[in-house]
Amino acid sequence: MSQPHPDPSAQHPSRHLGASLSADDFKTLFRGHPGGVAVITADAGDGPVAMTATSVSSVSADPPLLVFSVSALSSASAVLSSAETVVVHLLDAHDLDLAKLGATSGVDRFADADSWSRLTTGEPVYRGVRAWVRCAVVSRMDAGGSIVIAGHALQSHVERDVEPGSPADALVFHNRTWHRLSDASVIG
């Protein structure tokens, strides 16, 4: 794990940053900011885990890097904190049931043996999702009550391609609700 970042005000003693936003104010701020939906799977040797995330973001095309965060409270956090590889499933509206499954606490996300398999390299992968990418974990950083994980893309599969400029039934999470982007949502 990376070392925590020093207090920014300690680096610049003449600068006072002020009080932090409250957790409720921060949640309110981001409730109006939609996020794409992904399910992340891994297996560090004790069985597969899965979780739904809206924090996946591409970082670089060359090298192909992405990042996501996982709450330390997530049942998947221990495995994602130690797995060498992960599979990030990038979902669309056709994958809503999987998004809900990965977001539900206390359920066996792998009970339906017909919905998933293992790659030849051992990672769990859900069948029929819009797209998935297998990544080598290259960095982890503690960030408050979460861990930010960076992955280097090694292998991918696209089941349902997206035409340039098309919303293609994208699945987004906005204001605590699932949404599908459609041609009606295009404004520019």
Question: DSSP 3-state assignment of 15?
Answer: coil
Q: Is the model's pTM score more than 0.85? A: yes
pLDDT in tens, the chain (188 residues): 555 555 554 555 567 788 888 989 988 988 888 899 999 999 999 999 999 999 999 999 999 999 999 999 999 999 999 999 999 999 999 999 999 999 999 999 999 999 999 999 999 999 999 999 999 999 999 999 999 999 999 999 999 998 888 878 999 999 989 999 988 888 87
> CA separation (Å) from 83 to 12, 77, 100, 172, 177?
37, 10, 23, 27, 30
